[in-house]
Amino acid sequence: MKTVLFLCTGNYYRSRFAEELFNHRAAYAAMDWRAQSRALAIERGINNIGSLLPFALWGLTTRGLSAKGANRPPQQCVTLDLESADHIVALNEVEHRPIISQRFPDWVSRIQYWDIGDVALVQPNKALALIEVQVDALLARVCTRTIY
């Protein structure tokens, strides 16, 4: 089983939605890939309430999916998470590249960066739709083995 690792700031919204969506679609297609997600700066989510932002749950529900990891609390990324992944995606380059540069400098060039802003910058329905498009494109590349 190969692993894709989704990274966002707090592992509360974007990366968790991407993880759940990827896992549902990969399982449906009987692919040998699984997603995980982690926070790059979990301490910045001090005001996050619960384990998963309700917008992420809403986004899954509107797509007929359930969050299998809804009760899992956000988790901080550590080097072992990066080393264990076959492919790594940070959800927003402008926001996440500086954090990665500071905390995981050897990994900056090994990560694929998307451009999906956090809830304060992009309406959730739009952000989740953008994540869905990117996840579908990633699944297509995985399926054709052109991931990198």
Convert the pLDDT of each residue in 28-69 to its tens digit: 999 999 999 999 999 988 777 778 888 999 999 999 998 888
Which residues 6+ apart lie within 8 Å of 13 measured at CB?
52, 53, 55, 56, 118, 119
Reported pTM: 0.93
Q: How far apart are CA 64 and CA 62, in angstroms?
A: 5
Quote the pLDDT of residue 146: 59
Mean pLDDT of the chain: 92
User: Which residue, 11, 84, 4, 13, is CA-closest to 42?
Assistant: 11
CATH of 2-143, one of 3.30.450.20, 3.40.50.2300, 3.30.300.30, 3.60.20.10: 3.40.50.2300
